[in-house]
Amino acid sequence: MRLTIIPPVVEGESAAAHLLRAFDVNGEPWSRERLRSAGHALSDILQGRAAKPLADRLGRDGEPFLRWTPAEVTKRRVVIAGEEIHRDDWTTNARRWCPRCWDDDLRRPRSGRHAHWNVHRRFWWDVAAVRTCPVHHVLLAAACPTCGVDVTWEAGSLTRCRNGHPLLACEGVEVAPGTTLADAYVVGRLGGMPRTEVPILDGLTLAEACDAMERLGVARHGGADGALSKFPAERHPEVLSAGLAIARDWPRAFEALLDGMAGADHVGLGAWGAEQVYGYLYLWAKRLPAGGSGDAVRAILFAHHAARGPVHKTSVVIRHADVPLVSLAEIAAQCGRRPEFVAGYVKALGAWPERTKRGTPIGITRETAAEIRALLDRAVRADNLPAALGLAKRQARMLVAARIVPPAEIHRRAGIKAEVFDRGAIDAVLARLRGPAPTVEAAPAGLLPLARASQHGKVDGVRGTCAMILAGQLRVRAVLRDAPGLAGFLLDPEDIRAARRSRGGGGLTLAEVGRRITVPSDVVGLIVRQGLLTGTATACGEILVPEDALAAFESEYATTGALARDIGSGIRWVREALDRAGIKPVFATAGRKVTTVWSREDVPRDLRRRIPRTHARPL
């Protein structure tokens, strides 16, 4: 049944909190059993699945509460306000509140309603990692000030415990502002207050950032073997805020923390193991995700430990600490090649030392080693190039000869005699050829693969087609999914013909001219060779006829069929009339398909009168 009074949506209120407030405003009891009798599960509401209760009881959807309601709740994590927190840090039992926030709500200007209507819950009160209100610097209350019973979501109302005692009578327990720094950071990340920028923590998820503040704070106050559980609950905000202070003054404060831990009484010069020196801090750093903040933490910690003294060759520290030089043998082992082979690339990159000594290993920077590994990883041998391009061997060689896919120069400088290509350069050429073409599952009607379309276009094969694409004269229409290289590039043969004509200065093909003057295309070619029609030969041997040349031809010459159409007669009768008048054609073909071209100046002006009336259109 829908509630009578529908309270307005308040910024920062979750769907569960809004339902609780709506029940409270309407004077309807709130309990798990009452919700169950209405077909709703309290656990679903608290885990963000509140769309049905909102629609049934309030007649509104859940969209206004999406930002402050869990979007995902699993056994390990909760996603809320675009941030990820640990599942243990999201409370679905205890219902905490800030007494000072509720005092502010009661003092807020009224809008024709009782001040109690302004009282609402902030969604971040349900985040267990937040122990204080960073706005008012008080502990979040969790028990009734009258009877001491824990306030939960199970029963009661927004401002009363399950025994009916008012929660508004609670007075907040003040804490030092310096102990609310960690809570201010968490609430800021969730959008509950202005955000505090801490780059080393901002590069982590909120769950990881909370772990980082805990681990750094515990290391500061409890040493290498400290744990948050060893501190009383009232000191937890202080410990976490100490961790935030270290993260905020990164990396200076972190380096000072490491110095203090390395200087502890139990740590000596013989303590090789990083775990013995840094304890849980070291174990936590190893588990941080790769990249960004995780790498930054490990880099400082590992470098700090490596600088203290000897580090065993099997230690994870020596694998991550900054060791500037590596040997040719190490690079060769990583690449699976001989040292002499790698030496050629070192010289080609200009990284060979100026002075060397026989029998002494050559020191190569890690940057150069990484560059060599990348070059070899991207190398494509000449016999593998056709497969990479999706072409036949001959077609691939044509692209290489045209320098559309040139060999990588670095391999030649390294002493490799065979042609070697760079996969990155190949991918770049394919990307340029593809352009913005969409990916399709099947070839649309009228489109052909690039290699086949090139055969239809008389454009010097695949090489000519690719050259026109790179010159902006042609474009790929679509690309087949999962087809290798150019094998999946689809083109319209008409585009190729249009581009071909454009390259030749424009004009009509012989076939198009033939359709215009109704003669076979091979006869049009003979007419061009006879000099009656002007045509231009393209680089691929095709003849193109400009529009103005065709217009000039039609004004000066006419075929027998054209004359017959002009006067509405038949070809036979026109030909007989011209023969009787002794008119000689300027061009004629013999054989099965006869084409005759006449000069319009030679055609008698009274040609129509020379044809019997029964075989010509009346004058």
- The tens digit of pLDDT for each residue in 427-449 reads 999 999 999 999 999 999 989 89
* Per-residue pLDDT at 133 exceeds 90: yes
Residue 44 or residue 310, greater confidence: 44
Residue 155 or residue 57, greater confidence: 57
Predicted pLDDT at 110: 67
Structure tokens at 45: 């509401």
3-state SS, residue 365: strand
d(CA 5, CA 18): 12
Q: State the pLDDT confidence band at 204, using cuts at 50, 70 and 90.
A: very high
Nearest alpha carbon to residue 30 among 138, 139, 121: 121
Predicted pLDDT at 147: 93
Mean pLDDT of the chain: 86
Rounding to the nearest 10 degrees, give the CA dihedral for residues 514, 518, 522, 524: -60
Predicted pLDDT at 304: 82
* Per-residue pLDDT at 108 exceeds 50: yes
Rounded mean pLDDT, 10-22: 91
d(CA 391, CA 394): 8
This prediction's pTM: 0.53
Segment among 9-18, 75-84, 256-265, 283-292 with least mean pLDDT: 256-265
Predicted pLDDT at 579: 86
* Per-residue pLDDT at 499 exceeds 90: no
3-state SS, residue 617: coil
Q: State the pLDDT confidence band at 360, using cuts at 50, 70 and 90.
A: very low
SS (H, E, C) 172-183: CCECCHHHHHHH
* Per-residue pLDDT at 615 exceeds 60: no
Structure tokens at 545: 């006829």
Task: Kindly tell me the burial class for residue 89, based on how many C-beta atoms sit within 10 Å of its own C-beta (0-12, 13-18, 19 or more).
Answer: middle
* Per-residue pLDDT at 329 exceeds 80: no
d(CA 87, CA 481): 41
* Per-residue pLDDT at 188 exceeds 50: yes
Q: How far is CA 54 from CA 2, 6, 51, 469, 549, in A?
A: 9, 10, 5, 58, 78
* Per-residue pLDDT at 183 exceeds 90: yes
Predicted pLDDT at 269: 42
Burial 52-69, CB ≥16 within 10 A → b, else e:
ebbeebbebebebbebbb
Segment among 429-433, 434-438, 478-482, 493-497 with least mean pLDDT: 493-497
Pairing type for strands 439-440 and 478-480 reads parallel
**Omega within 30 of 0 (cis) for the link into 406:** no
Other CB atoms within 10 A of residue 358 CB: 4
3-state SS, residue 247: helix
Alpha helices in 236-336 (DSSP H): 236-248, 252-262, 274-278, 280-287, 292-306, 316-320, 328-335
Cα angle for residues 60, 152, 179 (degrees, 5° grid): 100
- The tens digit of pLDDT for each residue in 338-349 reads 888 888 888 888
Q: Which residue has the tokens 């390294």?
A: 414
Q: State the pLDDT confidence band at 109, using cuts at 50, 70 and 90.
A: confident
Amino acid at residue number 288: L
Q: Which residue has the tokens 């009881």?
A: 57
Predicted pLDDT at 309: 47
* Per-residue pLDDT at 388 exceeds 60: yes
Nearest alpha carbon to residue 536 among 544, 524, 527: 544
Task: For the chain, give the percent of residues with pLDDT over 70.
Answer: 90
- The tens digit of pLDDT for each residue in 43-87 reads 888 988 999 989 988 988 888 999 999 999 999 999 999 999 999
Q: Which residue has the tokens 């809008």?
A: 111
Segment among 30-34, 63-67, 320-324, 428-432 with least mean pLDDT: 320-324
- Sequence-separated (6 or more) residues with CB below 8 Å from residue 191: 12, 67, 81
3-state SS, residue 438: coil
Nearest alpha carbon to residue 267 among 225, 233, 221, 295: 225
Segment among 54-63, 197-206, 341-350, 351-360 with least mean pLDDT: 351-360
Predicted pLDDT at 318: 60
Q: State the pLDDT confidence band at 187, using cuts at 50, 70 and 90.
A: very high
Predicted pLDDT at 310: 44
Predicted pLDDT at 356: 61
Torsion sign over Cα 545, 551, 557, 558: positive
Predicted pLDDT at 326: 64
Rounded mean pLDDT, 561-566: 86
d(CA 144, CA 366): 63
3-state SS, residue 385: helix
Phi first, then psi, for residue 345 (nearest 5°) are -75, -35
Which strand (E) or helix (H) includes residue 449? strand 448-449
